[in-house]
Amino acid sequence: MSKWMYLGFGLCLAACSTNSKTATVPAENTTPPAPETASTSAVIDARADSTVQVTFPANDSSVTVLGELKTVNQEFIASIPVQSKRKLSATLLAPDSLPNIRFAQVIQPDGEANGPFGTTVSVSTPKDGVYKLRISHNLRTEAGLTREFKLRVVLGQ
């Protein structure tokens, strides 16, 4: 049955990804993320800090960041430089079956912010510059605190 649940989740993500300005999953998402596939993308370990400047290897448009929220009110900020790309997609993966973590905001280079989102976000990037992903716990849920997580960032056309 879990294969069908993953298939349904994938179809929902594909159907919702046509809107380029909003998140594809609501903040109260209870569907577990699809399992990670083998990836050759770069990994940045940022668990020792609450901010990270994401850098992409040459000729690569995806990166995985290891992060950690140590306290309830802590935030994690990922700064992503965008040049000549049209879409920023990011996913939070946690070992918890019901992760208590979300994208609180996506902040554009001009300071305009949107959010909160769930564990997946996909936004258009019409402006070149640094986009910031603000990650925090979802204080509206009664789930336990998610501490360690993986942030998967993909830039696309």
pLDDT digits (tens, 9 = 90+) for 71-128: 888 999 999 999 988 999 999 998 877 778 999 999 999 999 999 999 999 999 999 9
Length of the chain: 157
pLDDT digits (tens, 9 = 90+) for 115-127: 999 999 999 999 9
129 DSSP β-pair partners: 82
Quote the CA–CA distance of 22 and 82 in Å, as a whole number: 18
Q: Which residue has the higher pLDDT, 12 or 116?
A: 116
Q: Which residues contact 115 (CB under 8 A, 6 or more apart)?
A: 23, 103, 104, 105, 106, 134
Domains of the chain: 2-156 (2.60.120.380)
Among 77, 123, 67, 122, CA closest to 99: 67
